[in-house]
Structure 1
Amino acid sequence: NFFAGELQTHLHAIFHHLREQDSIKLAVRLESWNEEHRRYLVIVSTTGRQDTEENIIVGCDFPTKESKVCTIGLVLPIWCDTTIQLDGDGGYKVLSHEKTHTFKPVSVQAMWSALQALHKCKDTAQKHNYYEGSLFLTWTCYYTSKIKSNRVYINEWEYSEDLWTRKPNYFEMKDAERVSVETLIRDRLKQVMMTMDLDNCTCKQVRLELENVIDMDLTAYKRYIDTEMFNILGQMDCPTKILDYLYLGSGWNASNLEELERFGVRVDNFFPDDFTYKNIRLHDLEASNLLQHWHGTWRFIDQARRSEGKCLVHCKMGISRSSATVAAYLMKERLWTKKKALEFVVGLRSIAHPNPAFLDQLDEYEGMVFAR
């Protein structure tokens, strides 16, 4: 699609700035003051003098979405004392040596990916005790010398509004009303996130939709909502072990080779040379007929079991299509009722929630299972 082409073009331009021995660990697009301006937070990685991984943040600027060349506007080493924290407004702050930089990715998924990658980089820096003034990350100067973005772009990279002085600290406001609202947020936030495309919406858009659902201004709860949102994403991010040979997860899990190898599962075809796939091309819509595929998915999972392999069943978020399919497998394999199978799945993966049409199809499937 268009956006994939835009990203591919921009990544190609970013690669032109890298030294031969460096690689890109992550690149996420950020919000910008100017609608035409494209900004990317890029984590550049290399093997340092001690044969250990070293990482820096590089901020890249494209004047427009059609631009095929970029400039560098920010270079930020990741030291052992670097601090990463949510800013309570759909972004996060990176604090290092009394300097603070705020980044706001353009989507919830981009935000989640960036936070995970940054925390891993920080863990590496702490493990090897990378501190400013040491012989680590000396290669940072190469990229610092290439900072050529115009002053407007650099101002945006350096801008850091002191959000903490202007916002109340909700940890000091734990009155009964606040506790009640936070409980309501926890109950409804997951439902709202299930209805939104987290690849193409921001944290702010999720909060605004939540405000519509509960009909309440939640400005004072921004930090709390961001924190809860990432707790929920953490649940979504990990595949759930249903049986010794069966896992339930998301598309993110299916694209993580390291995780797949760790769990030993066979799983869209991200790694066709390494795993065996069965694809069911259906949208999470009430008009979709998932029932017609459940005999085939049962056979595929059973083949993994009989060959002493493991299988990951996934859709985009691991919530509706895949959870219904796993429940159907349990019904046929264990001769369980729909109620028992769903309770078992939800008990292990609380975000599992098949859409109403799939629940009706499970009712029909139950009749087929017990008619034999």
Structure 2
Amino acid sequence: MFTLLRPEDNIRLAVRLESAFPQCTRYMVVVSANGRQDTEESVVLGMDFNPSDSSCSIGMVLPLWTDTRIHLDESIHVFKPVSVQAMWSALQSLHKACEVARCHNYFPGSLFLTWVSYYQSRVSSDQARINEWNAMQDVQSHRADSPVLFSEVPTERERTERLIKTRLREIMMQKDLENVTSKDIRTELEMQMVCNLREFKEYIDNEMIVILGQMDRPTEIFEHVYLGSEWNASNLEELQNTGVQYILNVTREIDNFFPSLFEYHNIRVYDEEATDLLAYWNDTYKFISRAKKAGAKCLVHCKMGVSRSASTVIAYAMKEYGWDLEQAFEYVKERRVVTKPNPSFMRQLEEYQGILMQFKMLFVTYSVVAGHVAKYLMCKCRQLSDHILLLKSKL
């Protein structure tokens, strides 16, 4: 670990964390240094230890800015220390570092924390470890949660609905859905649960629609781009059969299911009017383009493959093929009929169309100017050449 640090930096805390890989060891390390303003600046490093060769690598770099917030939440696990005592030490150290950042107003783009680039350039953990760090930043952990001591006891109806949801998915996965009716499925469900579910009919019908949407196959939009749902992202056999190697996860609520098998890129947003999805489309374009360049296929998914991921694929099509919004939207919707970006995303796509159009006009203008300059230079070269030949003839 120490060989990866700069000599002038200090380790304020090193806490061992749980890992999804039993053989691996992970540490959250808080590193501090004196900045240009002679104040203490801190960064959180994610360190991965490989037991096979005892090597250490950096898998995550997280600067502590003035707006960084530390939360202890029962449903969102940023880092999960191996013990309660370790968690308490981590919280104290992080709160202290964040308080210093707020006191001195450390913000991105300023002269503070410029030294963090040293560690960012040295992220070298393998992709599976990097995926694990990214996956745990913002979403509900798939590992068992800590016991909840004070929580509301679910009602009898809530417990029944949970059981219905689980059994319903199992039944629908086993049935040939082209040859059964919704009534057949409800009857099967009542037989398994040994009770009359008439009062839950509306709930069951709604859940059927959700499950059907999740179970639908991903839609091939382009040869290298598939558009799908959470179900598609969790179906390993289907992913392997379609040749997907890259997965673009455009959700805040869904974790990466197979971080050691696929290359992931996460856009952690909700399907809400306030979400600024446009801000991510440059990064999503680069990720999909990387998959295309590698000769691989990329699955772009959100919860249902309707709004967030569909908007992202439309934006990709506009930039990649030079299409306007109407053409890109109709192309995607023709292939995936459930495509329906929320109104805010549609406005952002219109704004993105304007940005791309301005860029195209600038490029055309640059090309025209460059052409004129080239002609002028060629003309001057000819004149100079003629002048040199004339001088040689006189000599």
TM-score under structure 2 length normalisation:
0.42
| Higher Cα Rg, which structure | 2
